[in-house]
Amino acid sequence: MNRSTKLTSRACVGAAKCRGLITRSLSLLAALILAISLSAHAGQYEDGVAAFKRGDYTSALQLWQPLAEQGDAWALFSIGMLHSNGLGVPRNDTEAMKWWIKAAEKGHLPAQTNVGANYLRGIGVEINYEQALRWTQSAADQGVDLAQENLGNMYARGHGVAKDLSQAAKWYRLAAMQGNTSAQRRLGEFYLDGMGVTQNYTEARHWLSLASEGGSPEAQVLLARIYREGLGVNRDYGEALSWLHRAADRGFVGGQNDLGLMYDLGLGVPQDFEQAIKWYRLAAEQGDRGAQWNLGRMYEKGKGTPSNYQEALKWYRLSASQGYARAQDTLGVMYQTGMGISQDLAEAVKWYRLAAEQGHGIAQVNLGHMYKNARGVMQDPMEAHLWYSLAEARLEPGEERDIAIRNRDLMARKMTRKQLAASHKRIEAWQPKE
Domain ranges of the chain: 1-143
Give residue-wise pLDDT tens across range 374-409.
999 999 999 999 999 999 999 999 999 999 999 999
Give residue-wise pLDDT tens across range 224-233.
999 999 999 9
**pLDDT value at 8 more than 50:** no
Higher pLDDT, 30 or 303: 303
The number of C-alpha atoms within 13 Å of 85 and in the hemisphere containing its C-beta is 22
pLDDT band for 43, please (50, 70, 90 cuts): confident
Percent helix / strand / coil, the chain, rounded to 5: 70, 0, 30
Q: Say what the pTM is.
A: 0.84
10/20 Cα distance (integer angstroms): 14
Q: Which of 22, 75, 26, 69 is nearest to 48 (CA)?
A: 75
Predicted pLDDT of residue 399: 96
Q: What integer is the mean pLDDT of 130-134?
A: 97
310/388 Cα distance (integer angstroms): 31
Percent of the chain with pLDDT over 70: 90
DSSP conformation letters of 212-256: HHTT-HHHHHHHHHHHHHTSSS---HHHHHHHHHHHHTTT-HHHH
Distance (Å) of CA 20 to CA 1, 13, 205, 269, 405: 24, 12, 27, 41, 57
CA 139 to chain centre: 24
pLDDT band for 4, please (50, 70, 90 cuts): very low
pLDDT band for 21, please (50, 70, 90 cuts): very low
51/63 Cα distance (integer angstroms): 9
Give residue-wise pLDDT tens across range 45-78.
889 989 999 999 999 999 999 999 999 999 999 9
Predicted pLDDT of residue 2: 39
Give residue-wise pLDDT tens across range 414-432.
999 999 999 999 999 999 9
**pLDDT value at 42 more than 90:** no
CATH classification for the domain delimited by 1-143, as one of 3.30.420.10, 1.20.140.10, 1.25.40.90, 1.25.40.10: 1.25.40.10
Give residue-wise pLDDT tens across range 189-240.
999 999 999 999 999 999 999 999 999 999 999 999 999 999 999 999 999 9
Determine the straight-line distance between the first and last CA of the chain, rounded to whole angstroms: 52
Candidate from 35-39, 287-291, 334-338 with smallest mean pLDDT: 35-39
CB 238 within 8 A of CB 268: yes
- Average pLDDT value for the chain: 91
Distance (Å) of CA 386 to CA 160, 219, 413: 36, 39, 13
Handedness of CA 414, 418, 421, 426 (dihedral sign): negative
Q: What integer is the mean pLDDT of 112-117?
A: 96
370/253 Cα distance (integer angstroms): 35
Q: What integer is the mean pLDDT of 346-365?
A: 98
Q: Which of 95, 94, 45 is nearest to 65 (CA)?
A: 45
CB 315 within 8 A of CB 293: yes
Q: Which of 29, 17, 28, 108 is nearest to 68 (CA)?
A: 108
Percent of the chain with pLDDT over 90: 88
CB 129 within 8 A of CB 159: yes
273/265 Cα distance (integer angstroms): 9
